[in-house]
């Protein structure tokens, strides 16, 4: 198993997107990139810690490659809005790829460069690509959030649209539903 860490706005959205993929064993919502150890959600939401809301994905590279995870990452959020995803604003919602080794860094940088050269987006890509400093898991009530709270308004209006997009665009990469 390998790990990948992504920041694509609210971690409830990115968690729900990656949980449905074949080869993904586990997704943990958390924080990285800030100035304090073991931050709380309230501290991160203040925008003063420097932390980003991220997910850490444990995946089987024999089933889904890091490159495929990057493709899902780039296609399921807007990497051109600095410190913002939709109505969520602040440095804690910045777009980021936090690499676990040199190969991930090389692949993420090459993918971003390819998208830039292809003019894949209307604006410049603001996604930061950095070695993962430290990952802090978020509080328990943030884990598996969409699956446990799917009827809440935020989940219905924001998270569900991202989950639906993954189903439409990446149907061949989805886990079988029971």
* Catalytic positions: 10
DSSP string, the chain: -EEEEEEESSHHHHHHHHHTBTTEEEEEEEEES-SSSS--HHHHHTT-S--EEEEEEEE-TTTS-HHHHHHHHHHSS-TTSTTEETTEESGGG-EEEEESSHHHHHHHHHHHHHHHHTT-SSS----EEEE----EEPPGGGTTHHHHHTTSHHIIIIIHHHHHHHHHH-GGGBPPP-
C-alpha 70/C-alpha 112 separation (Å) is 9
Alpha-carbon Rg for the chain in angstroms? 15
Contact 143, 44 (CB under 8 A): no
């Amino acid at each position: 198993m390998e790990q990948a860490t992504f920041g694509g706005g609210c971690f409830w959205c990115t968690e729900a997107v990656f949980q449905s993929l074949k080869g993904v064993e586990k997704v943990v919502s958390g924080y990285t990139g800030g100035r304090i150890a073991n931050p709380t959600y309230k501290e991160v939401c203040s925008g003063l810690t420097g932390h980003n809301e991220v997910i850490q994905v444990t995946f089987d590279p024999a089933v889904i490659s890091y490159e495929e995870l990057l493709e899902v990452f780039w296609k399921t959020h807007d990497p051109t809005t600095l410190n913002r995803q939709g109505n969520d604003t602040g440095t804690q919602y910045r777009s980021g790829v936090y690499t676990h080794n040199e190969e991930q860094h090389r692949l993420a940088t090459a993918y971003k460069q390819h998208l830039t050269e292809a003019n894949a987006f209307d604006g410049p890509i603001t996604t930061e690509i950095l070695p993962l400093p430290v990952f802090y898991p978020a509080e328990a009530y943030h884990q598996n959030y969409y699956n446990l709270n799917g009827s809440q308004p935020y989940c219905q209006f924001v998270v569900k649209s991202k989950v639906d997009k993954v189903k439409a665009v990446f149907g061949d990469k989805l886990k079988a539903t029971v």
